[in-house]
Amino acid sequence: MKRRSFLRRASILPLPLLFNQVKLSALTQPWLAGEMADNDKVLVLIQLIGGNDGLNTVLPLDQYAALTSLRSNVVVPDQKVLKIEDAVGLHPALTGVREVYDAGKMTILQGVGYPEQNRSHFRSTDIMNTGSASTEVLNRGWLGRALDEEFPNYPTAYPNVDNPDPFAIVLGDSVSETCQGAGGNFSIALTDINRVGQLPVFAGGASLDTPYGRELAWLRTTISQTNEYATVVGAAAAKGNSEAEYPNGNKLAANLRDVARLISGGLNTKIYVVDLGGFDTHADQVVGDNTRGTHANLLKTLSDAIAAFQSDLAALGLEDRVIGMTYSEFGRQIKSNGSSGTDHGDAAPMFVFGSCVSGGVVGDNVELSGGIERGEGVPMQYDFRNVYGSILMDWFGVGKESVKDLLMDEFTHIPLINNCRVTSTSDGRPGLRRIDLGVVPNPTNDAVTLTFISGNERVRLSVFDAYGRQVRVIADRQFLAGEHRLSANLGGLPKGAYFVHLMLAGGVRKSKRVVLN
């Protein structure tokens, strides 16, 4: 039987699914060995496939007139928006998300993305799954690299007495690129947790020294590992239960219910991956009064699933063990198109939820004044790798220096986890400090004066164009504590819209739009 035929027929896809089929890089130095804490914490990733329209998800109430003029054929009427903060609202389909947010169990990060946004589905998805820069190609996922150094011989001799359960589970029909390691993929894919079954075992055959024999050995090993994992997964599914009411006909909700069942059934898997497709809304994003349509249906599916899952975790006594995170390959452009849709853009909001998160909105609303150009996307405020690294640090106990080695030297921590204490969503909660950035004159012909306040810390000031490409570095050095005023020359750049980025220690970032005439 050919490998593809075998894998298509298997109801549980094995850990070495991509073994010998993906170009793999050599192991790096063991910077992470022994650092992932031996805890019972679980991370649930929800991938929104297609590029979620952030400006139709988290809405800037303080700039609604401009938002309406820029996307009149898709914008939600302001009286229908679900207000969560003075200047921030949610799409009316996100009632479940608002309930979780109001309970202090959700952090919304604005403007998450990466520099030099590619805007290709395939490449951007690869970047988000591997944690790479836009200028590099990595063959291992960001979680796979973390697991590699903790379990360097994987998949050889796994599962075993110390690690009998799958490291990661995908509720779907293929393993996750986020979990790709050097020797194999750390995730298994389950299409139905109630029917994991056992694959037939056979013996005999050609010598292992022949090409056919090596293929046969691979198949035997795959079957053996698959059956061992199937046994423990099946036992957890039978033992586990669900206490919440999940919406009917919602596949994402059904998958999250299965996650809750497996956790409650005693499975020690740390990572679960689910997805929701359909976010590539170039056309017919809305219908009627703009509160309905493709995007509204997707947001309702997501929102109802998250709310039911969080309710289930609370009823099962599992809230303090589980956090969830949404991500998408990119956001959409600020201006809508002529087909009642939106085109590929740059940054987008990200939801991190659970009883252990800090809660609230992190980041600022996008600036919509000064003449938005067609093709302009929401600028990045937070590099997605800072989000990933902060979760590795605060949830899985990975050291900061190790996170830098894993993701990027410029990693800065974002306080997303709050020691499993449900926090108030009022002012004064723990979180990133607020900063201001002055840019005058704006518009300008060539130079601007920048004003900001910093502590005694390293400060980076840089300029990005409307497509997220860094075009100039103004300063990148240590500043003394106090108020600062700098002159920045923008001469030589083509006319158009740019973004001045200010980044301070601890992941604090401020972005201001400036128009060069």
Residue 417 within any structural domain of the chain: no
On whether both 396 and 459 belong to a single domain, the answer is no
What is the average pLDDT across 119-138? Answer: 96
Residue 418 lies in a domain: no
Question: Which pLDDT belongs to residue 396?
Answer: 92
Residues 204 and 291 in one domain: yes
Q: Retrieve residue 422's tokens.
A: 């449900």
Phi, psi of 70 (to 5 degrees): -85, -25
391 and 471 housed in the same domain: no
Higher pLDDT residue, 112 or 418? 112
Q: Determine the pLDDT at residue 291.
A: 97
| Cis ω for the linkage preceding 441 (within 30 of 0) | yes
Residues 381 and 471 in one domain: no
Each residue's pLDDT tens digit, 345-362 = 999 999 999 999 999 999
Same domain? 180 vs 326: yes
Say whether pLDDT at 21 is over 60: no
Average pLDDT, the chain: 86
Lowest-confidence range among 21-25, 198-202, 295-299, 508-512? 21-25
User: Residue holding tokens 């300029």?
Assistant: 463
Give me the DSSP letters along 399-462. -HHHHHHHT-TT------B-TT----SSTT-S-PPP--EEEESSSBSSEEEEEEEE-SEEEEEE
> What CATH number corresponds to the domain at position 510?
2.60.40.2550
Question: Given 391, 406, 421, which residue is the final one in a domain?
Answer: 406
pLDDT band at 29 (very low <50, low <70, confident <90, very high): very low
pLDDT range class, residue 203, cuts 50, 70, 90: low
> pLDDT, tens digit, for every residue of 268-320?
999 999 999 999 999 999 999 999 999 999 999 999 999 999 999 999 999 99
- Residue 208 and residue 107 share a domain: yes
- Judge whether residue 422 has pLDDT over 90: no
| Entry field: residues in the chain | 517
Beta bridge partners of 134: none
pLDDT top residue among 292 and 410: 292
Say if 427 falls within a structural domain.
no
Residue 89 lies in a domain: yes
Residues 333 and 475 in one domain: no
What is the domain count for the chain? 2
pLDDT at 151 over 50: yes
| Residue of higher predicted confidence among 160 and 54 | 54
For residues 361-383, b (16+ Cβ closer than 10 Å) or e, as one string? bbbbbbbbeeebeeebbbbbbbb
pLDDT of residue 205: 60
Average pLDDT over residues 78-102: 97
Answer yes or no: do 470 and 359 share one domain: no
**Does 473 lie in the same domain as 383?**
no
Residue 507 — very low, low, confident or very high, per pLDDT cuts 50/70/90? low
Same domain, 349 and 441: no
Residue with tokens 């900063």: 435
Does residue 76 surpass a pLDDT of 70?
A: yes
Tell me, yes or no, whether 342 and 196 share the same domain: yes
Over residues 209-264, the pLDDT tens digits come to 777 777 777 677 777 777 888 899 999 999 999 999 999 999 999 999 999 999 99
131: left (phi over 0), alpha (psi -120 to 50) or beta: left
> How do residues 444-460 score in pLDDT, each as one tens digit?
999 999 999 988 888 99
Q: What number of other Cβ atoms are within 10 A of residue 96's Cβ?
A: 22
pLDDT at 66 > cutoff 80 = yes
Q: Where is pLDDT greater, at 21 or 419? A: 419
Decide which of 406, 428, 450 is a domain's last residue. 406
What is the span of the domain harbouring residue 474? 437-516
433 pLDDT band, cuts 50/70/90, is low
Q: Residues 19, 91: one domain?
A: yes
Confidence of residue 16 (pLDDT cuts 50, 70, 90): very low
